[in-house]
Structure 1
Amino acid sequence: MSSETPPLLDTVANAVVDYRGQRVLRSNSGGWRSACFIIGVEVAERFAYYGISCNLVMYLTEQLAQSTATAAENVNTWSGTASSLPLLGAFVADSYLGRYRTIIIASCIYILGLSLLTLSAMLPSSISTSNYVGKNKVTLASSELQVNLFFISLYLVAVGQGGHKPCVQAFGADQFDGEDPVECQAKSSFFNWWYFGLCTGSSVAMLILTYVQENLSWGLGYGIPCVAMVIALGVFFLGTRTYRHSVKEVKSPFVRIGQVFVTAIKNRRAKPSEIAIEEEACRTLPQHNSEQFKFLNKALQGKVCTISDVEEAKAVLRLIPIWATSLGYAIVVAQTSTFFTEQGAILDRTIFPGFEIPAASLQFFIGLAIVFFIPIYDRIFVPIARAITTKPFGITMLQRIGTGMLLSIICMVVAVLVEIKRLKTAKEYGLVDMPDVTIPMSVWWLLPQYVLSGIADVFTIVGLQEFFYDQVPSELRSVGLALYLSILGIGNFLSSFLVSIIEEVTGGDGKDSWFADNLNRAHLDYFYWLLAGISAVAFTAYLYFAKSYIYNRPSTI
């Protein structure tokens, strides 16, 4: 008997090919050998993205002279757009270009946006003075060209991320064969270590780039991420020969699933007896649940849609309640790069005499908490939970998501208490009407809310990534991850909408709004209480839908 591995046993079970379109062998493709290249690319991309986003609110207020509320709205709108465009990018990838080509094109757009962003930050600004509470305040006045170029390049980055983000992660997960027990378990670990790498890149950006931007040069602070993305594209090309590519379906999955809904509507008046045979055939498939969303079974009449098409449509429909109830969590996440940063800017940030940390660098502790906790989760928590629950991955994906949601509510309550103390300290020292004076309260008081936010991400963000990748049809996995990203995007839009409405309602008749430029007269504590309440309501609804959710592949949970 030959000692070599028989070709049939070495063939990947999933319908995948290499870059030349030929069937691949398990021994020389995919797995961690390919995933490591792709994780490396994501580290660089997150370094670039957070090099912009984590300190964007400070650039808008300090360099473009925008108000606190306007800057927060602009940050949320941009972040929302960047997190929503992956839906379009995923559609293009899954229907036309494929993930590999989409990643390359999106990376080029990303690099163009970063290059123009660097140029806009290097354009000279004029200096002007304004009277503020009896004092002359020096501010920078940007030219119209600089402002326009800045926002054009900012949204080019959002477009680039829209194609890059869902495809890179889905492409990374595609390197593992879900039909092989060993690679299936490795895929679950991939999502943990993927997020570990993601947070490593973002943490370095928060720690280093924020200092470079505020103390050396904004142009240099944006130029370094541009170089990082160029290197990342080169790294991605290095793994080309080892990548596994999904075989493209002849019929678009969007067309198949859309056709189910259209046909079901057309056949809405069909008599039950006319589709009874098809429904009975559905029930003979134990891996599906045809009793749920039975109205879609009407699409079976006339043999226009197959049983598989109908079950795929049901799988997508089941995701909607989970998607919607996760938005409360996403609204909370939006605050870490806006109002959390604004709070830190007026607290004592001195590490040692003559050295202050940038306010935005506190977001580093979100990444640090994630980097520290993911190995604990993967190597300690999961084995213990597995021994107790006998489930392959310790707890289900939905249980993991819900745990993070609960932690985010606790995070908001902690943020309320810290903000109350900050306002009280400002009043005690007579600094209420002196917004430019540092409040004698250590910035480390904000640390618990940042750490709690990071630990919540380990549960909810990673859980959502795995859930939306696993629970959609295999041809739609880029779209599945785009749906997860859109939760964060819509959360940012909702946060921006709330800020706009509250600013208008509470800031009328010359009153200080909850988001007044003078944060000592603002009421972020009220806003945080509101978010805690919204999150609690969303969490309650989530528990209801999660309890009745039926997994597509029960064996994978």
Structure 2
Amino acid sequence: MCDKFAFFGLSGPLQNYLQNSRDDPLRPGVIGLGQAGATAVNQMFMPWCFITPIAGAVVADQYLGTLRTIMGASAAYVVGLLILITSSGLEPGPALAGLLLAMVFIGIGTGGIRPNVNSLVAEQYKPPSNPLRKLPTGEIVYVDLDTTLQRIFMTFLLLVNLGSLSSALTTTIEQKYGFTAAFSLPAVAFIPGSILLLVSRHVYVVRQPAGSVVLHAIQVLGIAFRNGRRLDVARSSQLPASTRQRRPWTDSFVDEVRTALSACKLFLFLPFFWSSYSQMLTNFVSQAATMETSGIPNDILVNVDPMTIIIFIPVLEYGVFPLLRRFGIIIHPVKRIVFGYVLASLGLAYAAVVQAIIYSSPPCYEYPRARHCHGGELPNQVHVAVQMPAYILIGLSEILISVTGLEYAFTHAPPSMKSFIMSLFISTYAVGSVIALAITPFAADPNMVWVYAILGLQTSIAGYCWNRSAEWDTKVSSSTIEAEEQSPLLNSPELSPIVSEAGV
């Protein structure tokens, strides 16, 4: 939660900080790079923050373990926040240099925290030895591991999104007191959280590092690719007994690599979703700056996304999904993710419609707040509240895609590579930011309708491709359910009727 509080607390004011100059008549900033330049820096910051988790996961899995990696990364995060606070009061050139240096340290911090916190949270749950549980009502339920992990990650996402609401505070502080005060709040929240983690470190169940797992996995894949992509060739048992000692892994490790590859298939399509998602912190903020805001900060609507998640996670997890399960309707992970892609595509399509409305409104029409139109002092006559459905649709899509993706990645990852697989899931955001960065040169008026339309189209295509490629997963899930229904345990007379429940 402290990571999210700090990250979104500084990200909320960042587009204004980068885009506008201090003498902007309506939305004061600091550096003055313009919309395309500000979006480019933001989109470069995002890949850095979401590619470093791979290194953080390798360090945790092979050397330090999850908890010590998180603590070391927290120290780097604090250094980055302090640099940002110090440099925000300088002239544009030094302020930009300080921001870039701060981004380096903050990226290292997020890289060590995010994949390992995800794994650490899930590892605190230990499945019961007896999966049957008798409720106070006398009803006997079956504690399903997948449903339990879904609830764990739903709850985790809900809590971290409480931290994401920090941008509502920092954007308000930015408007009233300036950027130095706004950037100070994330540090004030993050430092006590890091101290609390250090003090309570003995409470957690911690998985110990397993050695050079990732290196061995890369070697296994290299052998497979040199031999017609056949993983079985990498088994130690395939070697003559005299040379078997040359491979420092067991046959079961090769099976774990195969399992890890299965988990990674989901990741091929996620970058297209994240490229759309990233618009909330960049171009949506710039779009709001061209609209009437009734005195509120133009970057405050970013908080509609975490508010959507906070409201709808309990509705889905404790209302909709249990009700559907009681009626025998199981929405498998594949379909949840597909529906998430649909909602994200609709969110971008709606943003394109909003942009078209802005371009058709006075006083500046297709060039809102241009310097040649009333000196850039007047926004177009469209109220910023019109933006809200776009944030809500993308927030709902995040619930379905992010939670399901975390669940899918964790359950499909072998024990020795949990953090690494989770880091690959997180790093898909970095690839998504690169995709968004590719269209940044076109992110300027009067092109924004096409920018949103293209992003929405590629997200819908990615969802379709994921659905097609994941048909095998649906069949496997169906086979698993049929096997469970035929299981003597689940067909025991004492389980009538039986209901699958989460264990938490």
TM-score between both structures, scaled by the size of structure 1: 0.75
C-alpha distance after superposition, 1:256-297 (max 9, x if no partner): 4233223335655xxxxxxxxxxxxxxxxxxxxxxxx7x212
Q: 1:222 corresponds to which residue?
A: 183
Higher relative contact order (CA 8 A, sep 6+): 2
Mapping for residues 460-499 of structure 1, pairs under 5 Å: 460-499=401-440
Match 2:301 to one of 347, 359, 362: 362
User: 1:59 is aligned with what amino acid?
Assistant: Y
Q: 2:126 corresponds to which residue?
A: 177
Match 1:540 to one of 429, 451, 464: 464
C-alpha distance after superposition, 1:7-45 (max 9, x if no partner): xxxxxxxxxxxxxxxxxxxxxxxxxxxxxxxxxxxx221
- Conserved 8 A contact 1:176-1:183: no
Q: 1:265 to 1:416 in 2, by over 3 A?
A: closer
Q: 1:489 to 1:348 in 2, by over 3 A?
A: same
Residue 386 (str. 1) matches residue 325 (str. 2): yes
- Conserved 8 A contact 2:349-2:453: yes
Q: 2:135 corresponds to which residue?
A: none
Residue 296 (str. 1) matches residue 258 (str. 2): no
C-alpha distance after superposition, 1:337-389 (max 9, x if no partner): 11111111121110xxxxx1111110111111110000011101221222244
Moved over 6 A (4+): 427-431
C-alpha distance after superposition, 1:119-163 (max 9, x if no partner): 01133x3xxxxxxxxxxxxxxxx2x33321221012211111111
Deviation at 1:458, TM superposition (A): 0.9
Q: 1:430 to 1:317 in 2, by over 3 A?
A: closer
Q: 1:128 corresponds to which residue?
A: none
Residue 197 (str. 1) matches residue 141 (str. 2): no
Q: 1:17 corresponds to which residue?
A: none
- Conserved 8 A contact 2:275-2:433: yes
* CA distance in 1: counterparts of 2:381 and 2:208, whole angstroms: 61
Partner SS for 1:425: coil
User: 1:446 is aligned with what amino acid?
Assistant: Q
Residue 55 (str. 1) matches residue 19 (str. 2): no
- Conserved 8 A contact 1:55-1:337: no
Deviation at 1:479, TM superposition (A): 1.3
C-alpha distance after superposition, 1:514-537 (max 9, x if no partner): x33xx4xx2211111111221122
User: 1:331 is aligned with what amino acid?
Assistant: S
* CA distance in 2: counterparts of 1:380 and 1:44, whole angstroms: 28
* CA distance in 2: counterparts of 1:71 and 1:346, whole angstroms: 15
* CA distance in 2: counterparts of 1:364 and 1:313, whole angstroms: 39
* CA distance in 2: counterparts of 1:388 and 1:310, whole angstroms: 40
* CA distance in 2: counterparts of 1:483 and 1:369, whole angstroms: 26
Q: 1:102 corresponds to which residue?
A: 69
* CA distance in 1: counterparts of 2:395 and 2:355, whole angstroms: 19
CA RMSD of aligned residues (A): 2.3
Q: 1:35 corresponds to which residue?
A: none
Residue 334 (str. 1) matches residue 295 (str. 2): no
- Conserved 8 A contact 1:86-1:485: yes
- Conserved 8 A contact 1:87-1:479: yes
Deviation at 1:195, TM superposition (A): 0.5
* CA distance in 2: counterparts of 1:236 and 1:104, whole angstroms: 8
Structure 1: tracts of 5 or more residues without a match: 1-42, 126-141, 269-292, 351-355, 504-514
Match 1:411 to one of 337, 347, 360: 347
Residue 449 (str. 1) matches residue 390 (str. 2): yes
- Conserved 8 A contact 2:439-2:451: no
Residue 160 (str. 1) matches residue 127 (str. 2): no
Match 2:254 to one of 276, 291, 310: 310
- Conserved 8 A contact 2:64-2:209: no
Q: 1:429 to 1:325 in 2, by over 3 A?
A: closer
User: 2:438 is aligned with what amino acid?
Assistant: F
* CA distance in 1: counterparts of 2:313 and 2:333, whole angstroms: 15
Q: 1:111 corresponds to which residue?
A: 78
Partner SS for 2:361: helix
Deviation at 1:324, TM superposition (A): 1.3
Match 2:209 to one of 242, 248, 259: 248
User: 2:305 is aligned with what amino acid?
Assistant: I
Q: 1:347 corresponds to which residue?
A: 291
Deviation at 1:330, TM superposition (A): 1.0
Q: 1:306 to 1:212 in 2, by over 3 A?
A: same
User: 1:248 is aligned with what amino acid?
Assistant: P
Deviation at 1:426, TM superposition (A): 3.0
* CA distance in 2: counterparts of 1:162 and 1:428, whole angstroms: 43
- Conserved 8 A contact 1:106-1:160: yes
Structure 2: tracts of 5 or more residues without a match: 21-29, 132-142, 485-499
* CA distance in 2: counterparts of 1:451 and 1:336, whole angstroms: 11
User: 2:52 is aligned with what amino acid?
Assistant: L
TM-score between both structures, scaled by the size of structure 2: 0.83
Q: 1:323 corresponds to which residue?
A: 267
Partner SS for 2:181: helix
Residue 73 (str. 1) matches residue 40 (str. 2): yes
Deviation at 1:419, TM superposition (A): 1.0
- Conserved 8 A contact 1:176-1:186: no
Residue 235 (str. 1) matches residue 184 (str. 2): no
- Conserved 8 A contact 2:347-2:393: yes
* CA distance in 1: counterparts of 2:259 and 2:231, whole angstroms: 11
Partner SS for 2:125: coil
Q: 1:401 corresponds to which residue?
A: 337
Deviation at 1:255, TM superposition (A): 3.6
* CA distance in 2: counterparts of 1:385 and 1:493, whole angstroms: 38
- Conserved 8 A contact 2:164-2:303: yes
Deviation at 1:410, TM superposition (A): 0.9
Match 1:375 to one of 314, 317, 325: 314
Deviation at 1:397, TM superposition (A): 2.4
User: 1:541 is aligned with what amino acid?
Assistant: C
How many percent of aligned residue pairs carry the same amino acid? 22
Q: 2:150 corresponds to which residue?
A: 188
Deviation at 1:178, TM superposition (A): 4.3
- Conserved 8 A contact 2:271-2:430: no
Deviation at 1:106, TM superposition (A): 0.3
Deviation at 1:466, TM superposition (A): 1.5
- Conserved 8 A contact 2:65-2:208: no
* CA distance in 1: counterparts of 2:226 and 2:340, whole angstroms: 41
